[in-house]
Structure 1
């Protein structure tokens, strides 16, 4: 019975990496220009932009950010080395009730 409760509890927790969520397109920032990445985000609505080992999650409206996240801007370097600043980034929200210990 304990294993069933633990399995149910774990299934209710949000996944730590947005790339694992269903329906999310993953894009490497060093393979595209800023304009191409913005176009991919508009077309796919949910995109995880891989930057080095980590990355940024972008959700184009009307898609919502996940629990514990808030909508903001995100910045990274593209394939040409230009600094990209894009809206609709989902970033950690320290004021969210989901992020209290």
Structure 2
């Protein structure tokens, strides 16, 4: 059994790869609005997917945490434009208190990669 950990620190790895699946750590973004933070967050997700040998077409599951569910539609507008047509992953979205007060969205992704 091979487990590959990428950008590993004392607390976590940014990517863990095992058996054709890449698990990404939660990503947050910069910006004032939910839309700005979501765009930045998805840009970071995309960079990690590329590092893992994957893409947004290979996402299996996404978990989205919002600091306020009133921002659901604004986040979805950015998400819907980013997800390739026909490649929508299984997804859950909920409200949670995030790590810092200025954060509005966090996204956790699991994706397939070519072995």
Which bin holds the TM-score, normalised by the shorter protein?
0.3 to 0.5
TM-score (norm: length of structure 2) = 0.31
Q: Which protein has greater RCO, CA pairs closer than 8 Å, 6+ apart?
A: 2
Q: Which structure: larger Rg? A: 1
